[in-house]
Structure 1
C-alpha cells in the first residue's frame, strides 16, 4: 500500500519557511523563488487538508497545527539527514570515539600528538569536541574527557595525566631578557588576566613565593590561547602552563623572566563515566593518553637543565 507521505521538497520548503518565518528567506536558503516556496506550501496544505500558515498584518505565523507539525517534521528531517550521512560515511555517527577537552589543551597539547594515535588505530573514528566547565557524559556523548582539577568528579573515574605547572611568560618587546626581575612590580608592566580563572596570578604568586608590589589589573581574556597570542604581541605578561608555550619559547617570541615553572596543585586527568562500560576503543585512547604523558615526563627528565 502506498504510504501517505508528502513530497520531500514540500517538507523542506515548509521546514525552512517555518524556521525563518519568511517565504523569501526560505527561498534564499533553498535556492528557490519566493513564489516557488509558496507553491510548495500550498501543495503541502492541500495534501494534508489543513492550514499551516496564516498572515497577521505583514507577519507570517504558524497555525497551532502548523507549529506542531513543524516540530515533528524538523526531528524527522534531522534524522533522515543523519542516516543519509551515515550511509555515505559507511558508519553511524555514534560509532565515533568522542573526546572532550578545554580549547587550548586541545590545540596546544592534544592535536600535536593525535597523529600517533590515529596511526596506531586507523580503524577507530575520533571526534574532538570542546568542553565547558564540567563534562556531561550522559547528554553530550563524551567517551573520554581531559579535565583540569584535583581528580574528583561525580560518578566518574579519573586517572592522572600530568601535574599542572604555571609560568609567567613575556615578550622580549616588553621585558628585556637577562635583566633581574625580582621583586615583580605590577605597576611597571601591563598584565593579562584569564577571565575563566581570575585567581591564576594569585595562585602563581603563592606557589612561586616571588616578592611583588603593586596591583594586579589588566586586560581580561577568555582562554589561554588568547593570553598566549596577546603575550606574543607584547600586550602584557601572562600566566600559562609551560606545555602550551614550548613553540613560542623555542622561537624566542616569549621567555620566562620570573623564574621556572611551578606546580599549581592541580593536574590534568583522563576522566570517564562510571556508569558507562569501558568499551575497547575508549580504553585504547585512554591508555594512549597515559603513555603520551609518561613519554613527556621522561623527555623532560632526560633534558639537560638550561
Structure 2
C-alpha cells in the first residue's frame, strides 16, 4: 500500500516558509522563485486538506492549527538530513553510531581517548552531539547517551562510568608560597550557573570558612570555568577528571580537599542490554566501560 506522504519539495517549502513567516525569504533560502514556493505549499494544503497559512495581502502567517505540524515537519527533515549525512560519512564496509554526551565530558575526557577506539575499530565512525539535559532516547536519532544518573533514564539500561568529584583549582600564580586554606576565602571564586550552591556545600563538607560563598562570576559550562582558572581569574570548583592533564603539567594547582558530597555519577545509557555479538554500539559500549575502569584504577 502506498504511503500517504507529501512530496519532500512541498514539505521543505512549507518548513522554510513557516520558519521565516515569508514565502519570499523561503524562496531565497531554497533558491526558488516565490511563485514556486507558493505552488508547493498550495499542493501540500490540497494534499492534507487544511489551510496552512493565513494570507493577508502580500503577507502570510502560519495558521494556528498548522503550528504543531510545522514543528513536526522540521524535526523529521532535520532527522532525515542528519541520517543522510551520517550515511555519507561512514565507511562503505563499516558502521556508525550517534552518541549524545554532556559537552565538557565529551571534549575533556571522551574525545582525547577516542583514538584508541578508532585504532581498535577502524571501520566504526562515532558521531558526537552535545545534550545538557536528559531527553527521551527513543526516536531521538541517538544510539546512546553519556550523562549523569537521572530518573529520566528509567526503563533504559544504564552503566556506571565515572564519579564526578569536584575540586577547587586555580592558576599557581594566584597562591603565595605555602598558602592554601586562607587563600580560598581571599581569591575570587568562580561558579557554574547550573550549580549555584556548590561552593556553600563544599565549605560545609570541608569545614573551610568562606565568607559570601555565592559571590563571584558565573559560567554555563565546566569547560568555561577551567579556561577562566587557567586565565588566573579565580578559583574554579570543577571535576578532577577534567583537569588531570593541567594538574600534572603544573598549569593548575589544587592544594585543597575534594568535595565528595557534591559528586555525581556519569553513566552510559543504552536502549538495550549489551550483548555478546559485536555491533558498532556494543563495541563502543564495551570499550568505554573498559576505559572508565582503567581511569578509575589509575586515579
| TM more than 0.5 | yes
Once the 2 structures are TM-superposed, how far is the Cα of residue 228 of structure 1 from its aligned partner?
A: 0.8
Alignment-derived partner of residue 248 in structure 1: 246
CA contact (8 A) 1:161 1:267 kept: no
Alignment-derived partner of residue 17 in structure 2: 17
CA contact (8 A) 2:167 2:240 kept: yes
Structure 1 residues 16 and 120: CA distance shift in structure 2, 3 A? same
1:282 and 2:281 correspond: yes
Alignment-derived partner of residue 296 in structure 1: 295
Alignment-derived partner of residue 155 in structure 2: 155
1:201 and 2:199 correspond: yes
Once the 2 structures are TM-superposed, how far is the Cα of residue 62 of structure 1 from its aligned partner?
A: 5.5
**Higher mean C-alpha displacement, 112-121 vs 53-62:** 53-62
Once the 2 structures are TM-superposed, how far is the Cα of residue 63 of structure 1 from its aligned partner?
A: 7.0
Alignment-derived partner of residue 304 in structure 1: none
Counterparts of 1:276 and 1:224 in 2: how far apart (Å)?
Answer: 30
Once the 2 structures are TM-superposed, how far is the Cα of residue 139 of structure 1 from its aligned partner?
A: 4.1
Alignment-derived partner of residue 126 in structure 2: 126
Alignment-derived partner of residue 228 in structure 2: 230
The two structures, once aligned, show a CA RMSD in angstroms of 4.1
Once the 2 structures are TM-superposed, how far is the Cα of residue 232 of structure 1 from its aligned partner?
A: 1.5
**Mind listing any 5+ residue stretches in structure 1 that lack a counterpart?**
301-306
Counterparts of 1:18 and 1:151 in 2: how far apart (Å)?
Answer: 35
Counterparts of 1:77 and 1:152 in 2: how far apart (Å)?
Answer: 26
Of 32, 37, 56, 2:34 maps to 37
Counterparts of 2:173 and 2:156 in 1: how far apart (Å)?
Answer: 45
Alignment-derived partner of residue 259 in structure 1: 256
Once the 2 structures are TM-superposed, how far is the Cα of residue 40 of structure 1 from its aligned partner?
A: 5.2
Counterparts of 2:100 and 2:78 in 1: how far apart (Å)?
Answer: 24
Counterparts of 1:120 and 1:245 in 2: how far apart (Å)?
Answer: 26
Please list, as runs of the form range in 1=range in 2, the aligned pairs for 1:108-119 lying within 5 A after superposition: 108-119=108-119
Structure 1 residues 278 and 233: CA distance shift in structure 2, 3 A? same
Counterparts of 2:152 and 2:86 in 1: how far apart (Å)?
Answer: 36
Once the 2 structures are TM-superposed, how far is the Cα of residue 113 of structure 1 from its aligned partner?
A: 0.5
Counterparts of 1:151 and 1:40 in 2: how far apart (Å)?
Answer: 45
Once the 2 structures are TM-superposed, how far is the Cα of residue 76 of structure 1 from its aligned partner?
A: 7.7
CA contact (8 A) 1:151 1:158 kept: no
**Number of residue pairs the alignment of both structures matches:** 286
Of 215, 219, 224, 2:217 maps to 219
CA offsets per residue over residues 15-37 of structure 1, 9 Å max, x none?
Answer: 533442323312321234xxx22
